[in-house]
Amino acid sequence: MASPRIRYGVSLRKRYAAVQKDKRARYMCDVCGKEAVRRISTGIWRCRHCSATFAGGAYTFKTAAGEAAIQAISGKSAMQKPQAQAQAR
């Protein structure tokens, strides 16, 4: 349900509802593997199972920029084929 503050346009109400749905959803924990990560405040996410705390996006647990940074740091490319990765080892 959209907020009563959002007025004058169905597209704005739909966008607001989608953001709220993502914000309140549960996400998979990278540490324990349970679907128990919830938003604590803006950009702060905590697993209710193992109490691990993560920094993420304001409304979603992981952002596209964060995923790209993780791939750049780890040296893995999303475009590499699994066979090429096996041969590199």
Q: Chain-wide mean pLDDT for the chain?
A: 84
Task: Give the DSSP letter of residue 78.
Answer: T
b vs e for 35-72, b when ≥16 Cβ sit within 10 Å of the residue's Cβ?
ebbebeeeeebbbeeeeeebebbebbbbeeeeeeeeee
Q: Which domains does the chain have, with CATH numbers?
A: 10-74 (2.20.25.30)
Q: What pLDDT was estimated at residue 9? A: 87
pLDDT 10s digits, 33-63? 999 999 999 999 999 999 999 999 999 999 9
Q: How confident is the model at residue 66 (pLDDT cuts 50, 70, 90)?
A: confident
Q: Which of 9, 36, 29, 6 is nearest to 19 (CA)?
A: 6
